[in-house]
Amino acid sequence: MSSRAQIYPLLFFAFTMATWEGCVRALHVPEYLLPTPSSSIARIDTDLFGHLLTTFEEAAIGFAIANTLSFAAAVLFVHCPVVEQCLFPLAVGMKTTPLAALAPLLVIWMGTGLWSKVTAAVLICFFPTLVSAVKGLKTIEPEARDLFDCYRATTFETFWHLRLPSSLPYVLSGLKISTSLAVVGAIVGEFVGASRGLGYVVLVSSYHMETPTMFAAVFCAAAIGLSMFWIVGAAERRIVFWQRIDS
């Protein structure tokens, strides 16, 4: 990403924060209703940073597990169409089931510790990468496939040298979508049962009408999602080096 492309989002963010700050102060909006950005950022202390690390751990582990499993499932689907026909509707059903409805069950089954939150992140992250990977692994040029067939390439050689490189742009796009979903899954899990994490902070703050603390936790959650998105974007620019990546 060019320096000019980087400066535009920063300028827009600064303008938005300044406008928000000015409007709240000028209109004398009560803090419990809508705090200023400065008062919310002032609530970000070491304790909140600890909650941020908890949510980041849950989201990162869930992200890694979900996308490893989804890519493995995509490879299986591509090479075994019968398995795809049997299991893909199940994956669609999991995607369409609201995570908020499953989160209480995860707490009952796994407790209020780390793994119920990780599982929530896995469930919400799994589908986007699965769909993207299946699409990428199936989208190969017929001429390239004919060339591999002419040289009697094995299934593994075709996968490693043709299908996998062709699928990388699709897979990485799915990973970028999953970055924000992982944070959502972890926080939804924290809403249902947790003693740590940004979701727990938001829930407790809402009970006590501590709106600046709620906004501070939301800012921290957004920072986690943006950081994970930028990491995957940087990896995309290095891995898919034969394509021009503008984002």
DSSP symbols for 85-114: HHHHHHHHHHHHS-HHHHHHHHHHHH-SSH
| Type and span of the H or E element at 9 | helix 3-27
* Residue 1 pLDDT > 60: no
* Residue 209 pLDDT > 80: yes
pLDDT digits (tens, 9 = 90+) for 149-207: 888 888 888 889 889 988 999 999 999 999 999 999 999 999 988 889 999 999 999 98
Which distant-in-sequence residues (6+ apart) come within 8 Å of 175 by Cβ?
67, 129, 232
pLDDT at site 89: 87
pTM: 0.88
Report the chain's mean pLDDT, rounded to a whole number.
89
Kindly report the number of other CB atoms within 10 A of residue 130's CB atom: 26
The tokens describing 63, both together, are 């992200």
Question: DSSP class of residue 196?
Answer: S
Instruction: Compute CA 166 distance to the chain's CA centroid, rounded to the nearest angstrom.
Output: 23
pLDDT at site 92: 84
pLDDT digits (tens, 9 = 90+) for 18-51: 999 999 999 999 988 999 999 999 998 889 999 9
pLDDT at site 153: 84
pLDDT digits (tens, 9 = 90+) for 90-103: 888 877 888 888 88
Share of the chain above pLDDT 70, in %: 95
How far apart CA 109 and CA 103 sit, in angstroms, is: 10
Q: What is the b/e burial string over 177-211, where b = at least 16 CB atoms within 10 angstroms of the residue's CB?
A: bbbbbbbbbbbbbbbbbbebbbbbbbbebeeeebb
